[in-house]
Structure 1
Amino acid sequence: MKSRSPLVNRIAIVVCAVVLTSIVSMTTTLTVSKSIEGNATAINLAGALRMGAFRLLSHVASPEGSKAGESSIQDLASQYELSLEDDKLTRAIPATEDHQLAKQYQSISMYWKQSLRPRLESHPQGAPISAEMLAVTENYVESVNQMVSMLERRTEARIGLLHLIQIISLAFSILIIIALFVDLRNRVLKPLRKLVSIAIAVGEQDFSRKANLQGSDELAQLGSAFDQMSSELALTYYDLEERARSKTEELEKSHAALQLLHTASRNLFSNHDLCSGAVPMLQELEQLLGIGPILLYLHDKESTEPVQAVTTASAERPFYCRDHHCNACLVTSEVYDERPIEEHDGRRLLLPIRTPSGLLGTLEVWYPADKGLSDTARRLLETLSDQLATAIFLERQITEQQQLTLAEERTVIARELHDSLAQSLSYLKMQVARMRRLNIEGDQKIPHDAILEELSTGLNSAYRQLRELLATFRLKLDTPDLATALRKTIEEFSERLGKSVGLKYNLPPQALSPNEEIHTLQIVREGLANAVKHADATEIFVEILFESPQVKAKIRDNGRGLPQDGQPVNHYGLIIMQDRARTLGGQVAVQNHEKGGVEVILTFVPKSRHLIPTETSST
């Protein structure tokens, strides 16, 4: 059965009328434009015939026309006749012989062949043009002018016809469009406005408005569908509202859990105690999600079984508990028995606590079997396991780093004691053994006073080295880097000198290892001590420079300088400085400065030079 669609039929009629008008307009326009195709070229060729006639007349009158190499009048006349019979010109001439334009063209052609051409060919070359000859040419040119005018008028008439067809087509199109607009306003726009107002009312939760459209067209059917839809929406709205309310409650619960995880992440990273940082957060998460208890097991490479580290509910204090004043995980036996564990219809979820480097532990989550565990709660617990993995990994890293730092500091202290105080004590031991041997052998060649003087000097040196070591270690433990320790050292020796000691420092941060910092600081202190005690200096200047890839330390004073034969006898400080420089893989140069005083220069390449940025080489 064929269904009727009045609205579609009306639109189809209007579209067909517009299409038909357009086809008629385009067809007639194409026909007219086709008929005048080539007229402009024909007019140009016809106009060129006039100039060509006078050119031929000028050629026969010119005495130079008979020279060698010039075309004869017969050749030029033949070329001209080809232009007269050109297809581009003849196509613009109507095919009917009784047409005025066709008659005019035949008249021009006959006049050329019978009158003008014979006269031009028979005229003596170079002879003056007679009046008769000139009159014949002018008559021919006048005929050509008439043909050109006829071509122009014919072309203009066709163009006028083309304009008239376009105006008529435009008028028909405007009338059709006006009729279409009137029909659309009455039968489409008004019903659509009513339907839109109903849709807006439905969007504002008002289901009481009805369209009540009369008729059998599509919009009337759509209005009936709108009325039925609003009735059904009124019935289902309350059901959807109830679902949205329950979803909102779930989202609020998830939001609260996310806030809890955010707060927990800060507590986990700020509090290094995993138990006190995790248990309150896990208990709040249990209350939000309706789960629990939650247990955390850590994997230890020294143990084959996982070690329980955290629990949120325990009837007795766990064996691993270190704070017996904390009762965060302790609950009564009644509360513990109500938790959903295996004996009380509970299910268990195991989540790995993992980092890219390996498995750190397992998170065990118990939840009621009758309620199950939602996808949202599962994702939150997975996020929690990731946070716990990061916190546990960082805590282990910090512990390992502290152990490495402590071991390195102990190694530095042991090396310092071995390289300084131990050597001095060994020297004193040898001197004591020497004195005993002298007493036993009774050898009085070497006086005891000399040995006692050496013992006194060694004791003083050992005591001074011990004080230097104590001062150095206190500086190192109280200050974060070499620069701060150097500034404190400069302040100390400025007080001893009674005048400010200059300092220039441009080492990059973390350029030296702790061992290299200790040796560099000791060498600088030794150089400053020598300048203050032995050089009688009034000005001292210290430079610590980085000249890639070397580190250079200079201590320069304006004192009395070194003696002519080099360093003083039994001056153990310079020997110790050279030993320290060799330990650093560098060297120490002690020399008189050209402007007076002594200059101590330490140069070495740091073992951590690959960490030093090369652009930090400006002095």
Structure 2
Amino acid sequence: MIVKRPVSASLARAFFSIVLLSLLSTGVAIITLASSLRDAEAINIAGSLRMQSYRIGYDLQRTSGDLQSHRQLYQQALNSPVLQTLNRWYVPQEVQQRYGQLHESWREMDNRLSQGDEQWYQQNIQRYVGNIDLFVLALQHYAERKVMLVVIISLLGTAGIFTLVFFTLRRFRQRVVKPLDQLANACQRIQQGQFSLLPLNSKLDNELGLLASTFDRMSSQLFKLYRSLETSVEEKTRDLHEAHRRLEVMYQCSQALNTSQIDALCLRHVLQIVHEHEAACFLELVVDDNWRLQQGEANPALPICRLPVNMQENVLGELRWQSPQQQVSEPLMRNIATILGRGLYINQAQKHYQQLMLMEERTTIARELHDSLAQMLSYLRIQLALLKRAVPDDNAPAHTIIDDFSRGLNNAWQQLRELLTTFRLSLQQSSLPAALREAMDVLQGQTGARLILDCRLPTQALDAQQQMNVLQIVREAVINAIKHAEATEITVSCVTDPDGLHSVYIRDNGKGISSTVEPEGHYGLTIMRERAERLGGKLEIELLPAGGTQVRFRFPVLISDKRQ
């Protein structure tokens, strides 16, 4: 069957006719309105001719010297461009005749004015003004007729558009809507399993006729396929149930990471969900050599399956599992690895954000101290130097007091500089080992002693504040060893003890600390102890039997980092 009259072509012709009629009526109305733009100006100028005529008569009576200029102004108004447009073909004959009569009357009156015939002018001025009134009235009727023309054109255009729309909708209903309703009813019968269709109009010469004939043939084929699909549906149903179960696992894993703060507890929850719903007897998430999460017990007799845990092409760790029956879906485990990678990535991003917030706060405090207390101390040092010069040299008691005050002020200045240096210490690296290595590299340039670092603490187990406290304690201890120990080797070790506590050791082979009591005005050891207490631990300083000093502090791990 060939489509002779497509529905789209019929609708296009109808819409084109509607648009054409709309554009035609609108265009004529716009042109008519455009021609009326200067009607008000023409009526205004025509009305002003009355006043000018009386003014010329007054000038003639008084023998005024302005008569000639007023005649020229009247001539200019009578021949103004807006009145000249009244001579076009579409202007009504009445308006043109009235305008011509004014010109003829004005030529006669102008001749009389040139002769100074005041009596004749006064006798005929009323008749001339009457012609002006008739001309203004003709202009008014002309403007009103144009407005009425716009209204009539708009009404005719609207009526024509509604007529076209009515016949278009009526034809559309007969040739499109009614056949579509028949097809919809036939579809509902097929949906109910009834393949005996209602009679369809396949004689239409548009797409719906072709669709009706095609639908008849399709229904007979559907009946043949219906039975064969039932068995396929049962198989697909089983597959969908399995896919639903896997999607449920993935959804629960995603919800486990849908928290404001992602930590090791969230990642362990993901492993627990997979362990409960899948055939994996052992699951392990390995992030680095120092941090891993396990669920279940490993069986040495079973092979270990591995998948990389990555995010945006960055490998963050490895997911390992064992299955006794090899029934774990590898695509599912690949998606679980992706979820874990996203969790690890967000965890690192959150810690980096915490580090930035911490650094911003510390920088603000350092800036405030520098702009306030440091400025005041500098001012006091200058004033003290001036005071020392002003006191006579033979005044020994005053110089003694000034020297004591100077030492105390210098000590306070030094303590403030160390405090500012501590506040400006930042975590430029995302992991604690990298941050410690960066700090040790900086301190290595300040001493000839050999600095050794062995950090095996899991970064994921520490938040930004804890990392900063550990970094500052280590840095302060190393600086003290550089300044006072006279050591040739300083070792920093960070490990996790078998009892689950994190331990940090700073050892040197120097001369050893003489006393753990700080001199007056020094607060380095006190601040280190306070930082260790803030971590939930305790800082200890002791002499080594082989010589040197050891600074050790231990602090507990986070609850979310404890292994089952």
The alignment's TM-score, normalised by the length of structure 2, stands at 0.48
* Larger Rg, first or second structure (1 or 2): 1
The alignment's TM-score, normalised by the length of structure 1, stands at 0.44
Larger RCO, structure (CA 8 Å, separation 6 or more): 2
